[in-house]
A = this chain, B = another copy of it.
């Protein structure tokens, strides 16, 4: 019953992380079956990095993990919504709370809001 349809997208499903309290959409990433199973088992959002070709537990570098409070799947079992608590306050590597901080208006892009952390501090070696 919990089998997702990974076939439509070459072994992946899109996964949306949404703030569990405010409903703000924080980011979208992809899961393969191992990432999905790991998320279910650990309660920490785990994705599949297409660039690194490996599992990626969100926050493994920054400490800014996503605690999963609720999981939804869609009508045809090929997309996931995670309602998460974003530790550290920001999901985006730019330091913005949401990756979707670029608003399209009258043919131009406007940045909405301010970063909540300095990425140079969080991701420094």
Chain A residues with a Cβ under 8 A of chain B: 1-2, 8, 14, 16, 18, 22-25, 27-28, 40, 50, 70-77, 79, 81, 92-94, 96, 99-105, 107-109, 112
Q: Closest residue of chain B to A102, judged by CB?
A: B73
**Oligomeric state, in number of copies?**
2
A94/B72 contact (C-beta < 8 A), A16-B28, A18-B25, A25-B25 known: no
Q: With a CB–CB cut-off of 8 A, which chain B residues contact A94?
A: 75
Q: How far is the CB of A67 from chain B (nearest CB, A)?
A: 16
- In whole angstroms, how far apart are the Cα atoms of A104 and B1 in the complex? 10
- In whole angstroms, how far apart are the Cα atoms of A100 and B77 in the complex? 9
Q: How far is the CB of A104 from chain B (nearest CB, A)?
A: 4
Q: With a CB–CB cut-off of 8 A, which chain B residues contact A50?
A: 8
Q: Closest residue of chain B to A76, judged by CB?
A: B99
A22/B25 contact (C-beta < 8 A), A16-B16, A104-B73 known: no
Most chain-B Cβ atoms within 10 A of its Cβ — which of A23, A28, A101?
A28
